[in-house]
Amino acid sequence: MDLVVLHDSVEYHCAMLARPRVLLLLPLAALLGCGSSSSPSSISATPYDFNGSWNAVYTSGAPLSMPFTNLGGPLQVSSSGAVTGTLTASAPYNSNQNPNLCAANNTPLVATGTLDAAHDLVLTFPIAGGTGTLVATLADDPATDAYGSWQVNGGACAMSATQMAIAGTPSTPYTPSSTAPPAASLSGNWVASVDANVTAPHPIAGFGGPLQFTNGSVSGILTATASANSIYCQQTLVANPTAAATGTLDSNNNLTLTVAVAGGTATITATLGSNPQTLADGSFQIVGGPCAVSATPMTIAQHAPVTGTYTGTFNLPATGNVPTPGSNITVTAVLTQSPTFNGNVVYPITGTVTVTGACTESATLAPGTVAGNAIYSADFGSNNQLAGPQFTGLSNPSASSILNATFQDAAAGGACSAAYQGILTLQ
């Protein structure tokens, strides 16, 4: 059984997502909360020092076709959660597009959007005749890099949904919350993932799985996911990636977990905030075995069930991250995730997908799984080849967005047999 986490290499991660019959388990994925997700609430419900300078960066070496590699600039949020500001794009020197055009000749782009109480950020901005969309769940500490996704629909610098990391410089220093959420709200699916800004080799990319909190004691099952940095660690974990986790949560929200990893012992520590579905800073280390590693920065969060109606615009990549002109489709996915994990420590998910545009169809998804924050559904025939719809993606902690989502229907033929990519948002 192959297991994948929200990895710092987007090429590695997306390649694994595309593999048939692969069970995906992302550490950032153990995103199952104990309640259903709903429309985002006002940021005023949870004060957050958002105002300041922000920078979003592509998380791997930019291909020549990447129209821009980072966006940065000042952003502000109102008490109602409305975000305004400007972003300046930087294009790679060897971009197949005109670098000056895709970087708007260094002209700040007007950005508008929303930030909710779970720190879910959605920004839109015009660029070279198209519309850019940036989606991310920010960390409790704004200065901590958080994973997200961006895409550009239309115009000269169109770009498929691509992983990126975002962090900010707040106007005042971050102070951890001292308010602990009720223990009952903590039980659910949790994911710990290596910080996006960690460049040192790390054999483990993260952990994910269900945890239960009772009177300061924590127990559950976590699956360790190897990164691309250690083939030996990967090979060893294949046989037994999942193990029981035990630990404690004290009155100051300090979480400590221990879990066996490939003959070694991992210790995970973090200080949780008042909202378990926002990223909290922490670290892990592993003593012994082929996956041993010194203290490594990470973020951890609980993830809500992926249940509801999600919509978004997908496009069809041609080469690299540049979509084929005129290949946009509108996707509506109606999904229902079980609140209870099964014997394989994954959560069953069912649903339908309706597509209009360059490709038009309505499809019932094969019974799939949510492993961490990784959503996977594929219809395989008797010859072990795709024989129907395939749908994949990565949910954010509050399940308000599905990032790096893909849809294709191998049995449909024509335009619908291609793999479209995009970002979905909960309606």
Backbone phi and psi for residue 81, each to the nearest 5 degrees, phi listed first: 95, 5
Higher pLDDT, 270 or 156: 270
Q: Residue 10: pLDDT band by 50, 70, 90 thresholds?
A: very low
Residue 330 has pLDDT above 90, yes or no: yes
Q: Determine the pLDDT at residue 183.
A: 79
Share of residues in the chain with pLDDT > 70 (%):
82
Using 50, 70 and 90 to split pLDDT, how confident is the model at 239? confident
The H-assigned helical ranges of 84-230 are 99-102, 183-186
Q: How many angstroms separate the Cα of 115 from the Cα of each of 43, 157, 168, 409?
A: 6, 26, 14, 34
Kindly give, in sequence order, each residue whose CB lies less than 8 Å from that of residue 101, ignoring residues fewer than 6 positions away: 128, 156, 157
pLDDT top residue among 349 and 3:
349
- pLDDT attached to residue 109: 93
CB 223 within 8 A of CB 208: yes
Residue ranges and CATH numbers for the domains of the chain are 43-170 (2.40.128.30), 177-303 (2.40.128.120), 308-426 (no CATH)
Listed range (17-21, 330-334, 418-422) with the worst mean pLDDT: 17-21
| pLDDT of amino acid 407 | 94
Residue 407: C-alpha distances to residues 44, 246, 352, 371, 393 (Å): 36, 38, 11, 18, 9
User: Per-residue pLDDT tens for 65-81?
Assistant: 677 888 999 999 998 99
- pTM metric for this prediction: 0.83
What residues does 47 pair with on adjacent strands?
Answer: none
Residue 45 has pLDDT above 70, yes or no: no
Q: Say what the pLDDT of residue 9 is.
A: 34
Most confident of the following: 20-34, 309-323, 338-352: 338-352
Q: pLDDT tens, 355-404?
A: 999 889 999 999 999 988 899 999 887 777 788 899 999 999 999 999 99
pLDDT band at 8 (very low <50, low <70, confident <90, very high): very low
Q: What is the mean pLDDT of the chain?
A: 82
In terms of pLDDT, which residue wins out, 313 or 386? 313
Structure confidence at residue 33 (pLDDT): 29
**Ranges 169-178, 206-215, 238-247, 285-294: which has the least confidence:** 169-178
Neighbours of 15 (CB within 10 A): 12
The per-residue pLDDT for range 278-309, each reduced to its tens digit, is 899 999 999 999 999 999 999 999 999 999 99
pLDDT tens readout for residues 403-413: 999 999 988 77
Confidence of residue 96 (pLDDT cuts 50, 70, 90): low
State how far the Cα of 156 lies from the Cα of 263, in Å rounded to an integer.
Answer: 52
pLDDT for the residue numbered 92: 66
Number of residues that this document lists for the chain: 427
- 3-state class of 340 per DSSP? coil
Per-residue pLDDT tens over the stretch 119-173: 999 999 998 888 999 999 998 889 888 889 999 988 888 888 888 999 999 877 7
Q: Answer whether residue 7 shows pLDDT above 70.
A: no
pLDDT of residue 114: 95
Q: CA triplet 311, 315, 316: central angle to 5 degrees?
A: 140
Q: How confident is the model at residue 52 (pLDDT cuts 50, 70, 90)?
A: very high
